[in-house]
Amino acid sequence: MGTQFYNAKLLSARILTPPVSGLRSVLMAAGIAVVLPMINKIGIVTTHALVALLVWIAYGYVVL
């Protein structure tokens, strides 16, 4: 519960919002740069399966 409050507080702070948005943009650009070539090389279904697995692992790290 404390982590959720901290994240909401962090995202609502005006002084920290631009860096958080910038980091989000950089991570999205990096993700797209990795995923698009994977789709061309190994196919869309396999890429979606690998990305879904990666997301579940990341979710496990965040929640647990």
Whole-prediction pTM: 0.59
CA torsion 21-27-28-29 (nearest 10°) is 110
In sequence order, what DSSP letters do the residues of the chain get, joined into one string? -HHHHHHHHHHH-TTTHHHHHHHHHHHHHHHHHHHHHHHHHH-HHHHHHHHHHHHHHHHHHHH-
Q: Which tens digit of pLDDT belongs to each residue from 4-62?
A: 555 555 555 566 677 778 888 999 999 899 999 999 999 999 999 999 999 999 999 88
Q: What is the pLDDT of residue 9?
A: 59
pLDDT at 19: 77
One-letter amino acid at 28 equals: M
- Residue 57, pLDDT score: 95
Residue 2 reports pLDDT greater than 70: no
